[in-house]
Structure 1
Amino acid sequence: MSDGLKFWIQTLVVPAVLAGVGYYINDTLQQQQRAFDKIKFTEQIISEAFDSNNPDKAIALTKIIPSLTDDKKFADDVVAMINSYYVKRAEQALKTGNEAEYKQIADAAAVFKGDGISISDSLKINPATSKAETARQYEQDGLAHLHQGNLEAARDCFQKAEAAYPGFHSSYEIANLLTKKVQEVKAGADQSTVRQQAIDTIRKKYSWRLNPQALRLPAQ
């Protein structure tokens, strides 16, 4: 090999090869670091999201996870995993009669619903939970009518809630209460007074089974 060729190999080829090898090693290390960071991020999210005592925190995470990473597929997969977990939890709560747990999940889902597929949307289309969500909507409409002073419309909504999902919250009891209050108004009682009595009774006897924020009833 001539001295000139050796010179050019040492001057151009060897540095280029070393630079290529260095780039490959650096890129590999960066990929490994990104993979490690993703694993740590996933572990943290899972630890936060699957806290059985705090579905509010978990469902809130599904709204902010997409903004925490540039990897859309990764974010979508994590959100879908959390959604699936809590829909299954809600479904199991209904099957076992654990109304308090279902209410906790459904209330949180209602607060943090937004664009895209959310837990709230899934609860409405899931065969095991859709009837309960229909009853929940009638319940909300009923309370809205009650606050507006429309006792008959409120009663009708709670009757529909009971028909959609028998035993849901206190729909049966509230429908009966409002039936009596409608009769009192028809008998000559002052409507605003009767309305307030109905609200006070619901607040005192049944508000623990309702969502104070969504249904505009003061929390106890």
Structure 2
Amino acid sequence: MGSSQYVTAATGDGFFRDGDKTHMAVTQKDLAQFMRGLSDDPEAYATLHKAESRYISLEMEKIPQGATGFAQSNPLSNAGATLGAYSAIREDVLNDDRSAAYSAADWKSKMAYHVIGGAVTPLYFTTAGGVSIAFGDSLQRGVDTWAWAMGNDMKAQADATANAGIADHYLTATNQMGLMVDSWADGRPDIDADARAGLKNEILDGHDRGSNTTHKYLTDTTN
């Protein structure tokens, strides 16, 4: 199922049918502004961010060993663009005047607490043959690696200000995505040092694209 179907539906009826299934679609702008509204609550932001990060980890594990070119780089570029959207939303929350109602450090530390909560809970998916498989091992190599590392550092620094700084460190694009790529590549004998560096560039380039686009959606309040 191509993403073009979602794009077409988002600018039309808002849904499309695929056999007996109905798929809903919204524009990127509407989705970004809706997610921004939810993210005033640090727990809501953390839930969205962790779910998306786990999905990215799942998509990375689907890249076949030995894949090259677009088949290898595109999932990383798309992952970066998605995380870039979350970076833009987080920045918008912290820069908004409404943040005066609570401290930025409090929002960050609460968000980080919910990101690391349940970090190693296995995720299950169903194969084409109908077999349900626990995806915990792959998650621990991917998204849970940075969540686990963040949690360890937060335990070592108990005060909210320190925890807020730790959250900033692990949610900075270079650090979070670098950890995710490294932990994924560690289980891939086909990924050498040069390929690893190239994939990090792909995900960071994607992040810049996603962040820049989302910033535009968040500053455009016209209907």
TM-score above 0.5, yes or no: no
Larger Rg: 1
TM-score (norm 1): 0.32
Which structure features the higher share of strand residues?
A: 2
TM-score (norm 2): 0.32
